[in-house]
Structure 1
């Protein structure tokens, strides 16, 4: 059976006043320290005693002492209040300067654009910030899972998020290894894919992603098949390098391999343009200085370099 609970109001009211009076053994000195009148101090102590149900001080015309209840209350209230003050100072510090743990949710394929030089230069410029990258293809709930921000392909970012572009738009291209094409001809039209082994990507939702193409301004999607499925782009790239089949991947991820001849680009006329990669974060809450510092760093690097490139450095596929 569900019970009704209410938050008790003013549970800490008067505690700071009590501690000041107990420290000075004087209502007047406590009032001077707190910047209020002695009458206000007296009223606050009376209200606290009434709420607790016991007298905390023994008062005479010449002195103020602690009762037994006051001594016991002091022994536990003082360290607890000091801890609350310390906690407030720690939280205030994180709200006033770039410091603390910055947690980013990032797909594996995007990690290379962060590691060098973006993250290295950011950490060097912000020594009080520790960066944690959680590499996963899962579309996480940033607030529920304790992340400050995420990085995703633009088309997968919810409209209620604030997005900061990291890369310009890029093409999705179909590639295959020379070894794969040594045994078969290159496709000249999207219909030719029915005769080819196509490596597929399973989204975090569990759905197999179709291949998308631009046919003279019209977007078409093709459900390719066989012989391999993976949940991230680097694994698909590795399979393509091994000659297992064709893969459709972001062009910046494979550009160097295409240029060196390790991969061949086919169906170039049908390559669709994607929105690019963006940093995103909830826009309805105050941005902590650590995240603001990272956003500013991203923008400054982008301005200096023109764009941030997705490096082609998946070592295991060489």
Structure 2
């Protein structure tokens, strides 16, 4: 074929069912697109589309050509993507900020594997439960839990179905009892974290169509979520944690879910950038890699985990 563009134009006409609409998408005049179709028909040696002032339909030859043309274009586009993907230089230095527990216990092994796969990539990792200022700090990307509040940032979702989960160790439950409603938290020791010098002590739940904000009294607090996790594992109290952070502990029965018939607070995970220009090939490759890792992680641990999956 003299021009793949003529085939692409033909496919757009069929998809839109209109030469004029396809022409607008192509940034062409209807006359120019009609000329493209005529050129294609001359090339294949037959009429592909019967056109009238109000409608168009495929000829038998057009139906046969359509099937093969779609397959050919899809295969060509895939081949181009593969070549472009493989020829991009996956290298560079990344300044990455992420929550302490997530980074230390879950993502760091994945980062090690990623850097083994791409030895020209170097990473500076900042583990903090404070919100990094990606505008002023030397941060290329920041992992953040929760719906992004700063509309000026660019957000790539990593795991939007994540939620908090109310949990405690078997030892704590054996000593203080199992609770079935978050309102019973007033009678228990709670563990939470500090952010911006404020204790996270209002825990949100949903039950029977109503929102319930529970004020808890925290027996232990820390500015590091990993410390909160360790205290919880050691049986010092009840915590309201990111499910992604404690999924392995739930699967291994080191922690137990409480009040599992109450809907917990959504806590999606995003990768944040200050500017789209920071979304380089290495960042895109890392994002895709981590999305796949999270998916595998969920499949691995949810097989044994005994809490209800909430999407």
TM-score under structure 1 normalisation? 0.59
Q: Say if 1:156 and 1:207 are closer, same or farther in 2 by CA, change over 3 A.
A: farther
1:33-182 equivalences under 5 Å are 98-111=90-103, 112-117=105-110, 119-155=111-147, 158-182=150-174
Equivalent in 278, 281, 285 of residue 296 of structure 1: 285
Q: Say if 1:193 and 1:273 are closer, same or farther in 2 by CA, change over 3 A.
A: closer
Match of 1:10? none
Equivalent in 266, 277, 292 of residue 286 of structure 1: 277
Question: Shift in Å at residue 235 of structure 1?
Answer: 1.0
Checking the alignment, whether the CA contact within 8 Å between 2:102 and 2:245 is kept in structure 1 is no
Checking the alignment, whether the CA contact within 8 Å between 1:113 and 1:311 is kept in structure 2 is no
| DSSP 3-state at the match of 1:235 | helix
Question: Shift in Å at residue 302 of structure 1?
Answer: 2.7
Match of 1:231? 223
Distance 1:215 1:245 in 2: 23
Distance 1:218 1:297 in 2: 39
Question: Shift in Å at residue 309 of structure 1?
Answer: 5.1
Equivalent in 193, 199, 203 of residue 208 of structure 1: 199
Distance 1:245 1:150 in 2: 30
Q: Say if 1:309 and 1:234 are closer, same or farther in 2 by CA, change over 3 A.
A: farther
Deviates further, 214-223 or 300-309: 300-309
Distance 1:304 1:237 in 2: 22
Question: Shift in Å at residue 245 of structure 1?
Answer: 0.9
Checking the alignment, whether the CA contact within 8 Å between 1:214 and 1:220 is kept in structure 2 is yes
Residue-by-residue CA offset, 1:212-244 (whole Å, 9 max, x unaligned): 211223332212003111123221111112211
Equivalent in 229, 252, 276 of residue 260 of structure 1: 252
Checking the alignment, whether the CA contact within 8 Å between 1:171 and 1:271 is kept in structure 2 is no
Match of 1:12? none
Q: Please, which runs of 5 or more residues in structure 1 have no aligned partner?
A: 1-95, 313-318
Checking the alignment, whether the CA contact within 8 Å between 1:193 and 1:224 is kept in structure 2 is yes
The Cα RMSD (Å) is 2.7
| DSSP 3-state at the match of 1:173 | strand
Distance 2:93 2:153 in 1: 21
Q: Say if 1:159 and 1:261 are closer, same or farther in 2 by CA, change over 3 A.
A: same
Checking the alignment, whether the CA contact within 8 Å between 1:100 and 1:130 is kept in structure 2 is yes
Q: Say if 1:157 and 1:295 are closer, same or farther in 2 by CA, change over 3 A.
A: farther
Distance 2:294 2:144 in 1: 20
Question: Shift in Å at residue 131 of structure 1?
Answer: 0.8
Residue-by-residue CA offset, 1:5-33 (whole Å, 9 max, x unaligned): xxxxxxxxxxxxxxxxxxxxxxxxxxxxx
Distance 1:199 1:138 in 2: 18
Q: Please, which runs of 5 or more residues in structure 2 have no aligned partner?
A: 1-87, 302-311
Distance 2:300 2:133 in 1: 27
Distance 1:135 1:142 in 2: 14
Distance 2:242 2:258 in 1: 13
Distance 1:231 1:146 in 2: 22
Return the index of the structure with the highest Cα Rg. Answer: 1
